[in-house]
Amino acid sequence: MLNELLLKLARWLDSQSWSTSIHESIYLYSWIETTHVLTLMVFLGMLFVIDLRMLGAIFPNVPASTIAQRLDKPMMIGFVVMLITGFLLYYAIPVRTTQSLWFRIKVVLLIAAGINAFLFRAKMQASSDSWDLDPVPPKRIRIGAALSLALWAGVVITGRTIAYDWFDCHKQLPYFMYWAAGCVDEMAALP
Amino acid sequence: MDLYPFFDWLDTSLLADISKAYGGVFAVVQMFHLLGISMLGGMVLVGDLRLLNIVMRDIPSEVVIENTHKWFNVALVIIVISGIFMSSAVALKLYYNTMFWAKMASLAAGVVFVYAIRRPLLKFDHATIKPTTLRMLAITSILIWFTVAASGRWIGFS
C-alpha cells in the first residue's frame, strides 16, 4: 500500500518539467550534488567535533556544553543546506530513488539519528552540570555519542551506495527485496 | 617527471585486484574516504572560523587550533590511505583525467600550506600575529580545502 503511494508521488514529481530540467542539465545536477557532498564538511565536521568531545577525545579542557552550544548553529546551517540539496537530488530522480533500497535504509537511519540526537540533547541538559568539566564524560553520554557517529556513518555510506545499481528493480531479486525496495510492477510480474 | 610507471604498476597491483573485483569493499573504503573528508573539513572549519572570530569566540584560538590539528592529522591519514586504494581501481583512467591532477595539485598545496605555513605560524602566541594575517590564513585554508574536496568530487563527473 505504502509502496504504491510512494511510487505514485514519485511519478507525479517525475512528470514535472523542473525535475527533468535538473536531471538533464549539464552542470546544475553536478553542482547540487557537489554542494551536498561538500556540506558534509560543515554538518558532519561540526558533529565530529561535538561527538569527539563527548567521547573525551578532543578539547579536554573546554566544558562539553560549551563545545556543543558554540558549534550548534554552524552545524544546523550545514544540516539545512544538506536537507535542501538532498531534496533537490531526490526531486531530480524521484522514481529510481524511491525504489532504491539504499535510499530507504538511509531515510530510516536518518530518522534513527534524529531520535538519538533528540534523546542525547535531553540527557545532556538534564545532567551536564555534574560532568560538564570532566575531560571524559560518563559512559551513557559516550554511548550516545558513539551511536550518533555510527548512525551518521551509516547515512553517509547508504547515501553513497544509492549510486550503485546492485539492487535496482531491473535486477533479478527475491520477492522480499522487491518489496523492500518498492518495486511494485516487478512484484506483480512475479508468478 | 612522468608518473605513468607508478599508475601502470598500481593498475595491476594486489590493491587493484581487490578494488576491481569487490564493489562492496570499494564502497566501504569510499565511506571512510567521505568520513575522513567530513572530519578534515570539520577540523579545518572550526579552526579557521575561530581565527575569523565567527565561532567559539570565548575559547582561546590557540586551544582551538591545537585540538583541531591533532584530528586533522588523523583525518588526512584516513583520506590518503583510502584514496590510494580507490585510485587503484581506476589508476590508468585517473592518469589521463585532468580533474584528478587538479585535485592532486590542490592537495599538495594544502599539505604544504598546513605543515610549512599555517602550523609553524600559529605556534606563536596569536596575540602577537597581525589580525589581518590570521584572517588571510583562515580564508586561504578554507579555500584550499574546499577546492580539494570539490575537484575530488568532479573526478567522478568528468
- How does DSSP assign chain A, residue by residue? -HHHHHHHHHHHHHTSHHHHHHHH-SSHHHHHHHHHHHTHHHHHHHHHHHHHHHTTSS-TTS-HHHHHHHHHHHHHHHHHHHHHHHHHHHHHSHHHHHT-HHHHHHHHHHHHHHHHHHHHHHHHHHHHHHHTT-SS--HHHHHHHHHHHHHHHHHHHHHHHTT--TT-TTS---HHHHHHHT-HHHHHH--
Q: Give CA–CA dist B78/B73, Å, rounded.
A: 9
For A27, the closest chain B residue by CA position comes to B157
Cβ-defined contact of A40 to B45 (cutoff 8 Å): no
Residue B102 CA to residue B108 CA, distance in Å, equals: 10
Q: Is B80 exposed, middle or buried (0-12, 13-18, 19+ CB in 10 A)?
A: middle
The pLDDT assigned to A190 comes to 83
Are B42 and A37 in contact (CB < 8 Å)?
no
> Rg (Cα) of chain B, in Å, rounded?
18
Contacts of A63 in chain B (CB under 8 A): none
- Which pLDDT score is estimated for A34? 95
Q: Which of the four pLDDT bands, split at 50, 70 and 90, describes residue B5?
A: very high
CB-CB neighbors (< 8 A) of B23 in chain A: 164, 166
Q: What is the 3-state secondary structure (H, E, C) of B96-114?
A: CCHHHHHHHHHHHHHHHHH
The domain segmentation of chain B, as residue ranges, is 4-157
Q: Is the pLDDT confidence value at B101 over 80?
A: yes
- Min Cα distance A191 → chain B (Å) is 31
The listed range with the strongest mean pLDDT (A182-191, B22-31, B32-41) is B32-41
User: CB-based contacts of B52: which residues, under 8 Å, 6+ apart?
Assistant: B134, B135, B138, B139
Instruction: Find cell 535504509 and name the residue.
Output: A105
For residue B150, the chain A residues in CB contact (below 8 A) are: 34, 38
Of B42, B153, B154, the CB nearest to A44: B42
- Interior CA angle at B88 toward B85 and B89, to 5°? 105
List the grid coordinates of B68. Answer: 583541531
- Mean pLDDT, chain A cut into blocks of 10 residues (191 residues total): 94 96 94 95 96 96 93 96 97 97 97 95 85 92 95 94 92 92 90 75
CB contact under 8 A, A42 and B45: yes
Q: Count Cβ atoms below 10 Å from residue A154 Cβ, excluding itself.
A: 18
| CA A55/CA A74 separation, integer angstroms | 21
Supply the pLDDT for residue A158.
94
pLDDT of residue B113: 98
If you average pLDDT over residues B137-147, what whole number do you get?
A: 97
Contact B63 A74 (CB under 8 A): no
